[in-house]
Structure 1
Amino acid sequence: MEYEAKAIDGEDRPQLSGPEAPSRRRRKWIIAAAVLLLLLLVAWVAFGRGDEEGAAAAGAQPAGDSQVPTVSVMVPGRESIQAVVTGTGSLAARREMPIGVAGEGGEVTRVLVEPGSWVGQGQVLASVDRSVQAQTAESLQAQVRVARADARIAQSELDRSQQLLGRGFVSQADIDRKTATRDAAQARVRVAEAQLAETQARNRRLDIRAPAAGLVLTRSVEPGQIVSSGSGTLFRMAMGGQMEMRARLSETDVARVRVGVPAEVTPVGSTATFRGEVWQVSPVIDPDTRQGTVRIALSYDPALRPGGFATARILSGARAAPLLPESAVLSDGKGNYVYVLDDKNRAQRRAVTVGQVSDAGVAIADGLSGTERVVVSAGAFLNPGQKVNPTLRKTGR
């Protein structure tokens, strides 16, 4: 065997030559192939077992359980629910008083109030010129004074005649005549006084006065204007400042409202709410609109302007009924319904009548006793008779 010296990496190493070199290279390829097969075997064992375990785990889960939906249910019970009727309408004076000219009228000399003024009973709102009427009154006062003077003279003459009657200087006939003269003079006094009183009363009616205490709403007269009994309404007042809302309600809602129930009124454009109570329910329903008027009494407030628009919430009473979330109540062509669960957790359709709807939920007027397990979610995806997996939900909303 011959060896040849060859420099590898700066060193002299012997290199095989001759017939042993090919066998050495063959062994190396065999070893490499064996290592590669071993690696492939290890990889197959690792990944193949993981797939089998996953398949076994998947096969261990029953196929039937994956098809039973889980739904949320609740037992609503019965709660006291306040029935609320809502409506719209206009604000107005509860007792509006139109004021015009009560006397013969004339030229307006002064207007003493403005809209929004509070006035007392009998207070002068406007004055009318009375220069001519004042002269007539003075003339009648003079006539009264003359009549009273004549009556005093007649009484004095009668008194003297009665003193002379006992001495025989006058006769009884003279006494009778003087008594009649005295009585006539006193009668003329009363006539003159009555005429004066009538004139003074007419003159007082020239002043336009408030018939009762209250709030001035409108004024349609100015100084210099000629007014008479045909001039119409010069002032409008709200007696005592009392206001009201005239709510227009449907025929059904009117039947649910009673006199004395509380109400809340909110004027348009305002966030303030005013409390009042129903004081009158219209006995007549408009045949065209099928609506009636409910009048709600309100105390005075500057924000309550007659003629304005407002909304009202009328508390028409309370009743005990099941209360459900809106998601629990479904509807279709047959009406409103809910799903309830039987003792085998199967969904059963139940027709219901919906009552008051509020932020708290939907009141069920008819169809539920409150002891049923009612599906509150996912009901739209159920079919009658379908089995479900229920999850009980607390009644607190």
Structure 2
Amino acid sequence: MSAVEKQNRPVRDGERQRREEGYADEASLAAMRLSGRSHAEAGEYRRTPWYTKLTILMLVVIIAAAVLYAYREPLMARLNPPPPPVVVTKPPAVTVTSAVTGAITEHAVVTGNLVAREEIMVSPQIEGYAVDKIMVEEGDRVSEGQVLAELSTTTIDTSLAQNEAQTARAEAAIAQAESAIAEAKANQDQTASAYARSKALVRTGNTTAEQLDQREAAAKMADARAASAEHALTVAKADKKLADAQRSELMVRLEHTKVRAPAAGVISRRAARIGAIASASGDPLFRIIRDGDIELEADVPEATLARMRPGMTAEVTTAGRKEPFTARVRLVSPEVNSVTRLGRVRIAIDQAPGLTIGAFGRASVAVASHTGVLVPQSAVLYTEDGATVQIVHDGVVATTPVKLGLRTEKQAEVVEGVKAGDTVIATAGTFVRDGDKVSAVAVGTAQPGTESK
């Protein structure tokens, strides 16, 4: 036996032993050896009946089937996943409202200052007299003829005393003249009677011509005295009339020392001061708002001025007052300033107690009123081509050109393009276009009313 054969002999011996013991390979034999089983036990394992093995196999199959049945739904769900959900795209939601038929009033807002409708300047009718008393203050309501102040009457009182003396003298002169007239007339009658008798005696020759001449001269002197007495009476009466006229003048001056209100109203300013010398050429002693009537004087653009007419109703709001005053346009100036392009309007306020002239005021004047189809102002979209409104019909947007009438802050009158009952987008914009599908969300209808422009 060669050396190679000796080396390979253990290998052949091992293969022969595996075949004799029934092991398929070297690994099985090694496993059996490691498990510590004997060749006898291994033999018994190899000799297990086939039906036992079949039973074990069936049990394993049954258990596996039970497990699969218990978890069939999760397994089926994993093997057959559900189809992905179908995503339905909803159109965008838009807020819509309905166009309605109603009245709309357009207002023009003007601002200005409160002024007296008619301010009366009260100045003294006589000058050179000091102010002695003041009876009223600013803000007082006075009646026509009420005494506002009194001037000093010292000088006038002295003149009245002198006038009384002159009057008494004139009355005495009249009485004296009347007595002289009575005496002169009696003497005139006597001399006239003596002259007549002398003329008759001359014809019969019972008296001389010289005596006749004396009787004639005496009669003429009596006539002259009577005439002189008449003239003296005339002069005395003239003096009396002069004294009476002077007294009347003094009484008028005395009355003028009482400064009276020429008309009823409210004292807006008092410049009178105690001791000051009254003068008609200076500042007026008082200023009176006739009847307390106050107006709003405002300068408005010429375009707005052209739409205003006297008698238009208005509401005036002043600083510090929440409730507006009822007013009306009283005067629209026919002139527009060529530089500022503004015209003046006067708005009379009805019953405005507590208002002060010079205060700021804001008026809303109703310049036009119509009845038509109304939509919210926010529903109107203004473009270069004109105004448009977006109407929703069957969920589709239709951009419609419109012709507008009156407009306010919240509403617009549509003359053409929209009918009453049409559903319009409440807030027009560029996020939806003509032909887009939308989901309409109603918020109500446009309510008729009046707003300021």
TM-score of the superposed pair, with normalisation by structure 2 = 0.70
Structure holding more helix per residue: 2
CA distance 1:162–1:356, shift in 2 (3 Å): farther
Task: Tell me, in whole angstroms, the C-alpha distance in 2 between the residues paired with 1:119 and 1:374.
Answer: 62
Contact 1:347 1:388 in 2 (8 A): no
Q: How many percent of aligned residue pairs carry the same amino acid?
A: 27
Question: Does 2:159 match 1:136?
Answer: yes
Task: Tell me, in whole angstroms, the C-alpha distance in 1 between the residues paired with 2:76 and 2:403.
Answer: 62
Task: Tell me, in whole angstroms, the C-alpha distance in 2 between the residues paired with 1:302 and 1:344.
Answer: 57
For structure 1, which segment, 336-345 or 182-191, has the greater mean C-alpha deviation from structure 2 after superposition? Answer: 336-345
Structure 1, residues 181-232: CA drift from partner, whole Å, max 9, x if none?
2222222222222222223323333333222122111212321233323331
CA distance 1:157–1:247, shift in 2 (3 Å): same
Partner of 2:434: 384
The counterpart of 1:316, out of the listed 363, 367, 370, is 367
Q: Secondary structure at the match of 2:389?
A: strand
Contact 2:397 2:433 in 1 (8 A): no
The counterpart of 1:217, out of the listed 262, 268, 272, is 268
Partner of 1:51: 82
Task: Tell me, in whole angstroms, the C-alpha distance in 1 between the residues paired with 2:259 and 2:64.
Answer: 127
Structure 1, residues 220-262: CA drift from partner, whole Å, max 9, x if none?
2321233323331221111122222223333222222221222
The counterpart of 2:412, out of the listed 363, 375, 378, is 363
Task: Tell me, in whole angstroms, the C-alpha distance in 1 between the residues paired with 2:79 and 2:253.
Answer: 121
For structure 1, which segment, 385-394 or 237-246, has the greater mean C-alpha deviation from structure 2 after superposition? Answer: 385-394
Question: Does 2:179 match 1:156?
Answer: yes
Contact 1:118 1:216 in 2 (8 A): yes
The counterpart of 2:337, out of the listed 282, 286, 289, is 286
Task: Tell me, in whole angstroms, the C-alpha distance in 2 between the residues paired with 1:218 and 1:194.
Answer: 37
Letter in 1 for 2:159: T
Partner of 1:13: none
- CA positional deviation for 1:268: 0.7
CA distance 1:342–1:268, shift in 2 (3 Å): same
Task: Tell me, in whole angstroms, the C-alpha distance in 2 between the residues paired with 1:79 and 1:391.
Answer: 23
CA distance 1:366–1:155, shift in 2 (3 Å): farther
Task: Tell me, in whole angstroms, the C-alpha distance in 2 between the residues paired with 1:377 and 1:362.
Answer: 11
Structure 1, residues 110-135: CA drift from partner, whole Å, max 9, x if none?
11111122222232222222322321
- Structure 1 residues not aligned, in runs of 5+: 1-16
For structure 1, which segment, 157-166 or 180-189, has the greater mean C-alpha deviation from structure 2 after superposition? Answer: 157-166
Question: Does 2:255 match 1:204?
Answer: yes
CA distance 1:366–1:286, shift in 2 (3 Å): farther
Contact 1:91 1:246 in 2 (8 A): yes
Q: How many pairs were matched up? A: 371
For structure 1, which segment, 195-204 or 319-328, has the greater mean C-alpha deviation from structure 2 after superposition? Answer: 195-204
Partner of 1:338: 389
Partner of 1:34: 65
Contact 2:393 2:423 in 1 (8 A): no
Letter in 2 for 1:312: A
Contact 2:335 2:343 in 1 (8 A): yes
Q: Secondary structure at the match of 1:196?
A: helix
Contact 1:79 1:322 in 2 (8 A): yes
Task: Tell me, in whole angstroms, the C-alpha distance in 2 between the residues paired with 1:72 and 1:356.
Answer: 21
**Radius of gyration: which is bigger?**
2
CA distance 1:331–1:24, shift in 2 (3 Å): farther
For structure 1, which segment, 252-261 or 379-388, has the greater mean C-alpha deviation from structure 2 after superposition? Answer: 379-388
CA RMSD of aligned residues (A): 3.5
Give 1:75-90 correspondences, 5 Å limit.
76-90=99-113
Structure 1, residues 134-187: CA drift from partner, whole Å, max 9, x if none?
212321232122123212322333244345544436544433332222222222
Q: Secondary structure at the match of 1:114?
A: coil
CA distance 1:24–1:144, shift in 2 (3 Å): farther
Partner of 2:200: none
Letter in 1 for 2:400: R
- CA positional deviation for 1:341: 6.1
